[in-house]
């Protein structure tokens, strides 16, 4: 199997490559303007999977204080089913968990059976059906992966007591 590297497109000076790849990969909503805006957004992480100098996949996630949003994900058609999508998402999930993020959400077309199956495999669950989400006519599904329980914080503080237990 070819070696796939995950890299930050800015550090790798690969922004042009990413924009071009987004077209080639035909990711939904991935116009060069959208990609540019997402790269410029300081709350967004853009990850590119490369084989040599060729981008074969990418993922973009927005990080909030407690929740993250997986905005775009695509793998080149010929390289699908070789674990690239899984590696991209797992990298982002690990980063989110390290940052203390509670949950990661995403939306996808309701008829995108391959992606639904992919996200189920990565333990995302379907939480919402949204009719007309895309262009007012195409239904979407929202999926969610919970990374930690919001109420499961540090144990409540109790005053010290002399009583031995
Ligand atoms: C969804 C997508 C990113 C998956 O990427 P990928 O690199 O092919 O996925 P992986 O190889 O890592 O697959 C991991 C697991 O997900 C599941 N899976 C992936 N694609 C699947 C498919 N077409 N049908 C059924 N299960 C699938 C499988 O369980 C797979 O493991 P396996 O190959 O060992 O059986 C890719 O199909 C894609 O780019 N689609 C077009 C863009 C898109 O739909 N993006 C998501 C919506 S935002």
- Are the C-beta atoms of residues 126 and 141 closer than 8 Å to each other? yes
pLDDT at position 160 = 75
For residue 73, give the H/E element and its range.
strand 67-75
Q: For the domain 5-146, what is the CATH code?
A: 3.40.630.30
- Are the C-beta atoms of residues 84 and 57 closer than 8 Å to each other? yes
pLDDT at position 109 = 94
pLDDT at position 114 = 96
For residue 105, give the H/E element and its range.
strand 103-109
pLDDT band at 165 (very low <50, low <70, confident <90, very high): low
How confident is the model over 113-160, as pLDDT tens digits?
A: 999 999 999 999 999 999 999 889 999 999 999 999 876 556 667 777
Active site members: 107, 119
pLDDT at position 126 = 97
Question: Residue with the nearest Cα to atom 16 of ligand 1?
Answer: 118
Which residues on adjacent β-strands are paired with residue 97? none
Helices (H) and strands (E) in the chain, counts: 4, 7
How confident is the model over 12-54, as pLDDT tens digits?
A: 445 555 655 555 445 556 677 777 788 888 999 988 898 887 8
How confident is the model over 49-98, as pLDDT tens digits?
A: 988 878 888 899 999 999 999 999 999 899 999 999 999 999 999 999 99
Query: What is this structure's pTM?
Result: 0.84
CA of 148 to the centre of ligand 1 (A): 25
For residue 86, give the H/E element and its range.
helix 84-98
Q: How far apart are CA 144 and CA 25, in angstroms?
A: 24
Q: How far apart are CA 5 and CA 55, in angstroms?
A: 9
pLDDT at position 159 = 74
Residue whose entry in the numeric block shows the structure tokens 């999977």: 49
Q: How far apart are CA 39 and CA 26, in angstroms?
A: 18
| Segments making up each domain of the chain, as ranges | 5-146
pLDDT at position 29 = 62
Q: How far apart are CA 93 and CA 109, in angstroms?
A: 21
pLDDT at position 54 = 82
Lining ligand 1 with CB less than 6 A are 27, 73-75, 80-86, 108, 112, 114-115, 117-118, 121
| C-alpha pair distances (Å), 86 with each of 13, 45, 94 | 24, 16, 12
């Amino acid at each position: 199997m070819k070696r796939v590297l995950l890299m930050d497109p800015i550090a790798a000076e690969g922004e042009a490559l990413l924009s071009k790849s987004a077209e080639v990969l035909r990711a939904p909503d991935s116009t060069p303007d959208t990609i540019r805006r997402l790269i410029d957004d300081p709350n967004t992480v853009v990850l590119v999977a490369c084989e040599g100098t060729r981008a074969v996949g990418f993922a973009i996630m927005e990080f909030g204080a407690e929740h993250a949003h997986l905005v775009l994900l695509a793998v080149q058609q010929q390289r699908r089913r070789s674990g690239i999508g899984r590696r991209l998402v797992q990298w982002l999930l690990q980063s989110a968990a390290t940052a203390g993020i509670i949950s990661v959400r995403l939306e996808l077309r309701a008829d995108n059976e391959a992606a639904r199956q992919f996200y189920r495999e990565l333990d995302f669950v379907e939480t919402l059906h949204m009719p007309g989400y895309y262009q007012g006519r195409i239904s979407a599904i929202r999926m969610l992966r919970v990374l930690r329980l919001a109420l499961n914080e540090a144990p409540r503080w109790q005053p010290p007591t002399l009583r031995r237990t």
